């Protein structure tokens, strides 16, 4: 896998950073991993919600599709923050491996 120039330069610069900055980078990596997991969970949930009928007095329409999408995104975020399905842990480990390899 080939890294872009800016990304690899940033990773190389991290090797000379104080440990407190590396800790913040690890926190940022964890946040990115959780965001990725939330996106994946939302994609799964989107396909599950697609089959649910929208009947009733407030059912259907463009407004419901917009709000349903927002609700599903929030479901994904909450599921990821409350333990998720393990994707964030694996992504976080891979990010750390990439950072260590560049140092």
**Confidence category of residue 42, pLDDT binned at 50, 70, 90:** very high
Q: What pLDDT does 53 receive? A: 74
Q: What pLDDT does 7 receive? A: 47
Q: Structure pTM?
A: 0.66
Q: What pLDDT does 43 receive? A: 92
Higher model confidence: residue 99 or residue 1? 99
Q: Which two tokens stand for residue 11?
A: 């990773």
Higher model confidence: residue 4 or residue 29? 29
Angstrom distance (rounded) from CA 36 to CA 25: 16
Calculate mean pLDDT across residues 56-71. Answer: 78
Burial of 41 (0-12, 13-18, 19+ CB in 10 A): buried
Burial of 100 (0-12, 13-18, 19+ CB in 10 A): exposed
């Amino acid at each position: 896998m080939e890294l872009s120039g800016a990304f690899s330069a940033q990773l190389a610069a991290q090797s000379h950073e104080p440990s407190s900055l590396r800790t913040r980078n690890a926190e940022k990596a964890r946040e990115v991993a959780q965001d990725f997991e939330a996106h994946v969970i939302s994609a799964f949930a989107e396909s599950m919600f697609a089959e649910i009928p929208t009947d009733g007095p407030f059912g259907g329409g463009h407004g419901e599709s917009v709000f349903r999408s927002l609700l599903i995104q929030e479901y994904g975020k909450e599921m990821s923050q409350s333990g998720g399905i393990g994707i964030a842990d694996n992504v976080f480990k891979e990010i750390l491996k990439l950072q260590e390899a560049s140092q």
